[in-house]
Each structure stands twice: as C-alpha cells, then as structure tokens.
C-alpha cells in the first residue's frame, strides 16, 4: 500500500522523524492495511511504516531502508538490538529490572517492553504494534525465555489510536502479586505488574533516587507522590533522620512499608500518609511544619497540548507550597514527566513558584530519565522526564 505526501511535507521524514501526521498526506490508502510505503509528492520512496487511519499520527515509520522487510525476524532483530544496548549500560548488567524497548526511541514505535525479573510487561500503544502482537510474543519468548509476558496496554495513548485498553497475561504464567525486583542501583522494590501503575513501576527514576539520597544525611524528608517509596528507601539508606511519605494509593503505601524492610531501612522513622498531596502540603503549611528535603514526583499532569496551561498551574502550586515548607538551605527535588511541558517551561514554572514564595532558589542538578529510556536525536519527544534539584534559601 502506498501513501503520497503533500509537496514539501517530506522534510521531517528526511530528518528521520518517525511520525507522519494526517495533515501531511495527499493520498491515503483505500484499505486499512497496516504496512505502508511513503512517497514524496514527486514520487520518491521515503520510508516504510505502520498506518492508522484513526490516529492523528497516521504513520509511524519502521524503516528508512527500502530493502528491509517488516516481519517476525525483523522484529526480533530490533528487540535484540535494544536489549544489547541495555546490557552495555554500565549500571544495568546486574539489574533485573529495566526498560528493554522504549518505543520510537528504540526504532519500535508504540512498543514498550519492561523487564521485571523473570516477567516482561508490555504496552502495545499503536495500531501497528497491536497488529503485530503474535510476532512480538514469539520474539520475546525466543530472546528472553520469560516465565510470563503481561500486557499493560491500559495507557491513554491507546484511545488516541482508536484502540480499547487491553490487559492480561499474553503468554506463560501470571506474575505473583508481590514480585521483588532489583534496580540497577541495587535497591529492591516490590512490584505488582498486573495491578500496579504504568507497567508495574517507575523504572525511569531508578538512578535519580540515588542522586537525591546524596542530600539526605540527617534530613527530615518529605517524599510526595511516593508510590512504592523508591525515593523514601533511597533517602533512608542515605541517612535521613525521618521520612514522611505521601501518596493517594493505599496499595503503594503498603508496598513502601514492605520495601523499607526489604532494603534494611526499617529503623528510619517513617510516617505514612494516604492523602492528596495538594491538600497535604497546605495542611503542613497551616501547621508550620518544616522539612530539609522535599521530593515532588507527580503523575503526568499534561496529556494533551490543551492541558499544558492547567498542568503548569498545578506544578507551580505544589512547588510553591514545597518551597515554603523548606528550612533555609533545604533541598527541593522536583520532577515533571509531562513530555508536553519542556525543560525550559518547567524551569520557568519553578522560578515563578520561587518568586511567589519570596525565596532564592539555586539549581544544583538537572535530572532526566534513566539511560534505559534513551532519547533518539531525531525524536526529541522521547525525552519526557525532567527534574531539578534545587537549594532553597
């Protein structure tokens, strides 16, 4: 099947950006086949990709090489290449938890594969990958011989592709409800692949937790949006005096308590708080409670361009409150995983919060997603996590 672009609309493709938007297409295929050939207006072959008439992103490119055939073998080679790259990451050789395929950034658009011990957690976020599910399962079984492959395609990106959510065991055994995994930092986490958030956990923060823990010695820590307590465990082991962990999820807070034990951090005084962070920060402000180290790691606030403004207001609100709660000289480790909020915009939002809190704030570290979530230069959209570690005076 063939797709012809409008004149001039091949520019992004010649820079190897992997998406073709519906507005760039002059002539679309009549049927709804999955694999399509893309041609420029003057008839030049440009790339081969996956077609979805129901998505704004009409085509996701699979190859720029006319000789490359898209089949099960091709898929297996791409996944193997992605896995080899992880095995070459210094910190990851002893880890049994890592992202193995990071979608577009690993030249597999819409495919996410996370490894949690002997289990693989998979998200099929594009129509093309959904259609290739049998080949994906076969390739994963061949390469990894996992105990089980679990689908967690319950992300909102499926809706944009016109696909229903899909979740369950794709192959092999169902994972245990509490699976202990080892991060590249050596920290252990109890994961529930089937019932947890995202694909089960937040692998992207693995290294940042240790970086933040370097500021924890003797500190009264407030870990907001703590989930299973990745930052709580790390800061406890980093010598925190006490920790308050806040999240709205009761099951995450149970896992957190378990993980403190598991990592030998149970002697650090821990206060668990099941609450809305926005309200809880106000409660601490009203009670003049103070901390030395505050972590803000909220969920994605901006899911579309239309939500960016509201998201920046939410970021500003929690950061303004957190800055106020810090003792002079305290540390704020603040994150945004909204890809649509750029690093530049995020920094401006934190600046606005500092101004309103009447405090001087210095950036001392800039964080990003862990290296098992690489960023392809031709696809800067793949860089979604940004963090600032700040000294607040």
- Please name the residues in contact with 357: beta carbons below 8 A apart, sequence gap of 6 or more: 320, 323, 324
SS3 content of the chain, % helix, strand, coil (to 5): 35, 30, 35
Out of 224, 226, 337, 390, the active site residue is 337
Q: Are 187 and 346 in contact (CB under 8 A)?
A: no
Nearer to ligand SAH, 63 or 251 (CB): 251
Cα distance between residue 122 and residue 168, in whole Å: 10
- Least Å from the CB of residue 230 to ligand SAH: 3
Cα distance between residue 335 and residue 341, in whole Å: 11
Q: Give the residue from 277, 270, 196, 200 showing the smallest Cα distance to 232.
A: 270
Cα distance between residue 205 and residue 203, in whole Å: 5
- Least Å from the CB of residue 276 to ligand SAH: 4
Nearer to ligand SAH, 63 or 248 (CB): 248
- Please name the residues in contact with 156: beta carbons below 8 A apart, sequence gap of 6 or more: 303
Nearer to ligand SAH, 39 or 227 (CB): 227
Place of tokens 């129509």: 127
| DSSP β-bridge partners for residue 150 | 121, 169
Nearer to ligand SAH, 195 or 299 (CB): 299
Q: Where on the chain is the footprint of ligand SAH (CB under 6 A)?
A: 197, 202, 205, 225-228, 230-231, 247-249, 252, 276-278, 297-299
Report the run of H or E that residue 84 belongs to, with start and end: helix 72-87
Q: Give the residue from 88, 83, 86, 170 showing the smallest Cα distance to 129.
A: 170
Q: Are 214 and 236 in contact (CB under 8 A)?
A: no
- Least Å from the CB of residue 208 to ligand SAH: 8
- Least Å from the CB of residue 330 to ligand SAH: 19
- Least Å from the CB of residue 251 to ligand SAH: 9
| DSSP β-bridge partners for residue 262 | none
- Least Å from the CB of residue 275 to ligand SAH: 6
Q: Are 232 and 221 in contact (CB under 8 A)?
A: yes
For strand 2-5 and strand 25-27, is the pairing parallel, antiparallel, or unpaired? Answer: antiparallel
Cα distance between residue 83 and residue 100, in whole Å: 5
Assign residue 110 a region (left: φ > 0; alpha: ψ between -120 and 50; beta: otherwise): left
| CA dist list (Å): 327 to 165, 241, 274 | 45, 15, 24
Cα distance between residue 135 and residue 74, in whole Å: 10
Nearer to ligand SAH, 92 or 227 (CB): 227
| Count of CB atoms situated within 10 Å of the CB of 201 | 26
Nearer to ligand SAH, 184 or 298 (CB): 298
- Least Å from the CB of residue 88 to ligand SAH: 25
Check if 390 is active-site: no
- Least Å from the CB of residue 116 to ligand SAH: 13
Catalytic residue positions, numbered: 337
């Amino acid at each position: 099947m063939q797709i012809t672009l409008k004149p001039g609309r091949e520019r992004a493709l010649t820079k190897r950006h992997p998406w073709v938007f519906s507005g760039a297409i002059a002539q679309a295929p009549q049927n709804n086949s999955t694999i399509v050939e893309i041609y420029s207006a003057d008839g030049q072959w440009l790339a081969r990709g996956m077609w979805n008439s129901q998505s704004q992103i009409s085509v996701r490119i699979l190859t720029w090489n006319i000789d490359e055939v898209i089949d099960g073998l091709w898929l297996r080679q791409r996944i193997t290449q992605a896995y080899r790259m992880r095995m070459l990451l210094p910190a990851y050789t002893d880890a049994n938890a890592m992202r193995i395929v990071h979608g577009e950034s690993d030249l597999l658009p819409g495919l996410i594969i996370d490894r949690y011990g002997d289990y693989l957690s998979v998200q099929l976020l594009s129509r093309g990958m959904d259609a290739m599910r049998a080949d994906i399962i076969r390739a994963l079984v061949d390469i990894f011989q996992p105990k089980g492959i679990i689908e967690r395609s319950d992300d909102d990106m499926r809706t944009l592709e016109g696909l229903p959510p899909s979740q369950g065991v794709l192959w092999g055994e169902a994972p245990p409800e509490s699976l202990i995994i080892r991060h590249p930092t050596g920290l252990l986490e109890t994961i529930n692949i089937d019932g947890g958030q995202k694909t089960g956990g937040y692998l992207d923060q693995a290294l940042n937790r240790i970086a933040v823990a370097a500021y924890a010695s003797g500190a009264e820590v407030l870990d907001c949006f703590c989930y299973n307590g990745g930052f709580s465990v790390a800061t406890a082991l980093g010598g925190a005096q006490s920790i308050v962990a806040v999240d709205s999820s009761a099951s995450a807070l149970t896992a957190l308590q378990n993980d403190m034990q598991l990592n030998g951090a149970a002697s650090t005084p821990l206060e668990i708080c099941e609450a809305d962070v926005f309200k809880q920060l106000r409660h601490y402000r009203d009670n003049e409670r103070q901390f030395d180290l505050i972590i803000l790691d909220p969920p994605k606030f901006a899911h579309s361009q239309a939500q960016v403004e509201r998201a920046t207001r939410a970021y500003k609100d929690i950061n303004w409150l957190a800055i106020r709660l810090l003792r002079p000289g305290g540390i704020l480790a603040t994150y945004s995983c909204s890809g649509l909020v750029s690093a530049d915009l995020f920094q401006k939002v934190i600046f606005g919060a500092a101004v309103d809190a009447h405090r001087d704030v210095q950036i001392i570290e800039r964080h990003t997603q862990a290296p098992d979530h690489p960023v392809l230069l031709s696809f800067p959209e793949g860089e979604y996590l940004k963090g600032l570690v700040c000294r607040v005076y």
